Structure 1
Amino acid sequence: MKEALEKSRYPIGKFVCPDEISDALFQEWLQKIADFPDLLKEEVQNLSEEALRNTYREEGWTIAQLVHHCADSHMNSFIRFKLALTENEPTIKPYLEDQWALLPDASIVGIGYSLLILEGLHARWAALLANLTDEMRNRTFVHPETNQRISLRINTGIYAWHGEHHLAHIRLAKKNAERRDT
């Protein structure tokens, strides 16, 4: 039971940072960030309002909440990148993502607005990433919950994974709904 819960929470597994992040791997992550909005739109574009209320697991977020969460999370990450590029090891501000997912903009507003945010945000983010020097990729911010210094190089991998992680949740929610309907 615990293993099934873990598999539904992390259908592609947890992010594991390799010991060495080559330029090729960084470029692969950059491409995943660039491609994410189109892949997300492809997964949700033909879903009904009812389908957007499906969850990937019991007590999990709905598909709509996942889309809004990605907009919230990726905006926060983009801002963290910009802070790290313009300040010396800034301490970032965490946010309560579970509570953000319950706010009216994530529970009653259509997903189209978050898809638009993600489209523009990821275009800018990918352009930023594509033009970072090695020195810039190694700049860090501090996460106050862990007191860990996180480089922009590593955070690029985390957010490449994050997009795939939530795409997998959406696909799982769609499969769960198909099973219930048959």
Structure 2
Amino acid sequence: MHTELDLKALQYPIGEFVSPENIDDKQVKEWIEDIALFPSRLIELVEELKDDELAYIYRPEGWSILQLIHHCADSHMNSFIRFKLALTEDTPTIRPYLEDKWAKCPDTLEMPIETSLQILTGLHARWSHLLNRLTEEGLKRTFVHPEHGKQFSLAEAIGMYAWHCYHHLAHVSLALKFKGEF
């Protein structure tokens, strides 16, 4: 039986995101590179997987690899839109979505991973292009996330999504390591 500590480590295999107090240009560039490379890193991990392997979960009651891949497409599409809102509106309040419910929708449970891998490939190309062209002023633009009750700068959001990429790559790796058996 897994302990509560074990389950937390499985849920956050790379730890939880902690924003640096000071975010410098070098850090932002590294995060943007992580975002740009995410689709190819994910494809490398999953391109040869069979349907039974796509059903592997990374922790008890966790999502399957299939759900993780579709979740990344959903999450990153939402994030891209949040960035565009922050760049074109004054401190917009973004709309959260119910990730757990989205992960149970028919497209998430039934569609082949190639559909979301294509979305991620195109989306990350556009997203990283946009991020690489943000000025210092652009990086300071903010949006409000009502679930967290705070403003996030785009610089901080870049870091959160670079973390999100590695977070879910680690989940896929764990699911493959344990072959979904808990």
Which TM-score band applies after superposition, normalised by the shorter structure?
over 0.9
Partner of 1:57: 59
Secondary structure of the structure 1 residue equivalent to 2:50: coil
- State how far apart, in whole Å, the 1-side matches of 2:18 and 2:142 are: 18
Instruction: Within 5 Å, give how 1:31-46 maps onto structure 2.
Output: 31-46=33-48
Secondary structure of the structure 1 residue equivalent to 2:134: coil
Partner of 1:79: 81
Match of 1:48 among 28, 45, 50: 50
In structure 2, give the amino acid aligned to 1:139.
R
Matched, 1:6 2:12: no
- State how far apart, in whole Å, the 2-side matches of 1:8 and 1:147 are: 27
Secondary structure of the structure 1 residue equivalent to 2:126: helix
Partner of 1:149: 151
Match of 2:167 among 146, 165, 168: 165
Return 5+ residue gaps in structure 1 as ranges: none
- State how far apart, in whole Å, the 2-side matches of 1:127 and 1:139 are: 17
Q: TM-score, normalised by structure 1?
A: 0.97
- State how far apart, in whole Å, the 2-side matches of 1:20 and 1:11 are: 24
Matched, 1:98 2:100: yes
In structure 1, give the amino acid aligned to 2:10.
S
Partner of 1:128: 130
Residues 79-98 of structure 1 deviation map (CA, whole Å, 9 limit, x = unaligned): 00000000000000000000
- State how far apart, in whole Å, the 2-side matches of 1:146 and 1:9 are: 19
Identity %: 55
- State how far apart, in whole Å, the 1-side matches of 2:22 and 2:143 are: 19
Aligned-pair distance for 1:144? 1.1
Match of 1:67 among 42, 66, 69: 69
Matched, 1:89 2:86: no
Aligned-pair distance for 1:147? 2.0
RMSD of aligned alpha carbons: 0.9
Aligned-pair distance for 1:58? 1.0
Matched, 1:28 2:30: yes
Residues 109-137 of structure 1 deviation map (CA, whole Å, 9 limit, x = unaligned): 00100000000000000000000000001
Match of 1:138 among 116, 120, 140: 140
Secondary structure of the structure 2 residue equivalent to 1:36: helix
